[in-house]
C-alpha cells in the first residue's frame, strides 16, 4: 500500500508509545499518533490533554485540545491546574510521554514556538508556548514532530520556548529542571535520538528510500549518522487503523 509522509510520521510516533504510557497530546498529528497507538500496540495507554480531559475516548479526531471531542467518555474533567499538576507530580509525571511540535529545533532538542527574529520586534510571530514549556519541563519523555527543513533544524534558536537538554550534558539538572527530556525526533524523512552523555542529537533512522546525506542536506547543523538504521514503513494494518479508525475525514492526514 502506498502511504504519505504524514501517515509514516503518525505510525512511527505511535510505535514509540508503550502500553501503560500516559500520553500528553497536542494538536494535529500528535493526536492521530496517540489514537493509533491505542489500536496498534498500546491498548492500555491513556490519552490526556492539558485542557483537563483525562483518558478521553476519542471517536472523532479533535481539531484543537479545546475541542469538545476531547470531553467524550473521559474518566475526569479536570481543570488546567489539574492536568499540568499530573505532569509536575513525582508519581504520575514520570509516566507521561509528551508529544510536541515546533517551528525550530536545535541540536539539544530545545524548541521554539514563539517567534522568529528579535523577540521584541519579531519578523514572524507564532502562537507561543501554550503547555509546551510545561510539558518539556516536567515529563519523563517527549516525542517531537518536525518537518525536515534547514530553516527548522537550526544551530541556535531565535527563542527557546520549550526546554530539551538546554546546552547539553547535565544542562537540565544545572537549571533545576526535573529529569527527563526529548526521546525521539520524528520528521517526514527520518528519526533522531539524543546521545546519553552529550545529549546531542544523532540520526537514528532513515525512512525507505532516504539516505543520511539527503537528511543532512535539510538541516542547519551536522549530526552523527553512524547509528542510523532503516525505519520500517507502515504495514497494511497500521495504515488501515490510521485511515479508517482515526481520521476518516482526513482532517489531519490531508489529501
Partner 1 sequence: MNPGSEKVISMREAVDRFVPDGAHLSIGGFTVNRNPMAAVYEIIRQKKTGLHLYAHSNGQGVDELIGGGCVARLEIAYAGSGRFAPTCVRFRKAVQSGRLQVEDYSNYQMTMRFAAGAMGVPFLPVRSGMGTDLVNRWGFTPEMRQSDERLPDLKLAALDNPFGNWADAPNVLLVPAIRPDVTIIHVQSADRAGTVRIEGLPFTDIEQAKAARRVIVTCEELVPTETLREHPEYNQLPFFCVDAVVHVPHGAFPTACYRHYDYDPAFLNQYREWALDEERHARYLQRYIKDTPDHQAFMALQDPAQLGRIKADPRTGYAVGLDRR
Binding site for partner 1 (CB under 8 A): 27-28, 50-53, 59-60, 62-72, 77-81, 84, 88, 90, 110, 114-115, 119-134, 137-138, 159-163, 166, 171-172, 175-178, 249, 251-252
| Cβ proximity of 47 and 99 under 8 Å | no
Give the end-to-end CA distance of the chain in Å, rounded to a whole number.
Answer: 16
The Cα–Cα gap between 26 and 132 comes to 8
**What is the number of alpha carbons within 13 Å of residue 111 lying toward its C-beta?**
29
The Cα–Cα gap between 70 and 80 comes to 14
Cβ proximity to partner 1: between 201 and 252 the closer is 252
Smallest separation, CB 230 to partner 1 (Å):
32
Smallest separation, CB 196 to partner 1 (Å):
20
16 noted as active-site residue: no
DSSP secondary structure letter of residue 137: H
Cβ proximity to partner 1: between 86 and 207 the closer is 86
Cβ proximity to partner 1: between 51 and 191 the closer is 51
Smallest separation, CB 130 to partner 1 (Å):
3
The sign one gets for the Cα dihedral 24, 26, 31, 37 is negative
Cβ proximity to partner 1: between 79 and 214 the closer is 79
Residue 15, classed as helix, strand or coil, is helix
How far, in Å, are 77, 105, 151, 173 from residue 156 at the CA level?
39, 8, 11, 21
* CA angle, 129 then 130 then 134, to 5°: 80
Cell of 100: 510536541
Cβ proximity to partner 1: between 131 and 205 the closer is 131
Smallest separation, CB 60 to partner 1 (Å):
7
Smallest separation, CB 113 to partner 1 (Å):
9
- The H or E element spanning position 96 is strand 96-101
The Cα–Cα gap between 74 and 55 comes to 5
Smallest separation, CB 119 to partner 1 (Å):
5
Residue with cell 552523555: 197
- Catalytic position from the list 16, 50, 60, 173: 50
What torsion do the CA atoms of 31, 36, 37, 41 make, to the nearest 10 degrees?
A: 180
Cβ proximity to partner 1: between 175 and 222 the closer is 175
Residues marked as catalytic: 50
Amino acid at each position: 500500500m502506498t502511504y504519505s509522509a504524514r501517515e509514516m510520521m503518525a505510525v512511527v510516533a505511535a510505535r514509540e508509545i508503550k502500553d501503560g504510557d500516559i500520553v500528553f497530546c497536542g494538536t494535529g498529528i500528535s493526536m492521530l499518533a496517540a489514537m493509533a497507538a491505542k489500536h496498534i500496540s498500546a491498548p492500555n495507554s491513556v490519552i490526556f490533554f492539558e485542557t483537563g480531559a483525562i483518558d478521553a475516548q476519542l471517536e472523532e479526531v479533535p481539531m484543537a485540545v479545546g475541542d469538545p471531542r476531547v470531553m467524550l467518555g473521559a474518566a475526569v474533567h479536570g481543570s488546567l491546574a489539574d492536568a499540568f499538576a499530573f505532569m509536575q507530580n513525582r508519581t504520575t509525571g514520570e509516566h507521561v510521554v509528551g508529544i510536541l511540535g515546533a517551528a525550530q529545533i536545535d541540536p539539544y532538542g530545545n524548541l521554539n514556538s514563539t517567534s522568529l527574529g528579535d523577540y521584541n520586534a519579531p519578523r514572524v510571530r507564532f502562537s507561543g508556548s501554550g503547555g509546551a514549556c510545561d510539558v518539556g519541563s516536567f515529563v519523563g519523555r517527549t516525542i517531537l514532530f518536525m518537518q525536515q527543513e534547514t530553516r527548522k533544524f537550526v544551530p541556535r534558536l531565535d527563542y527557546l520556548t520549550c526546554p530539551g537538554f538546554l546546552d547539553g550534558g547535565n544542562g537540565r539538572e544545572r537549571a533545576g529542571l526535573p529529569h527527563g527530556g526529548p526521546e525521539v525526533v520524528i520528521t517526514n524523512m527520518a528519526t533522531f535520538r539524543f546521545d546519553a552523555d552529550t545529549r546531542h542529537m544523532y540520526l537514528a533512522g532513515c525512512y525507505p528510500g532516504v539516505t543520511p546525506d539527503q537528511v543532512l542536506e535539510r538541516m542547519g547543523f551536522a549530526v552523527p549518522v553512524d547509528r542510523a538504521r532503516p525505519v520500517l514503513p507502515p504495514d497494511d494494518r497500521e495504515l488501515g487503523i490510521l485511515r479508517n479508525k482515526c481520521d476518516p475525514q482526513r482532517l489531519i492526514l490531508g489529501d
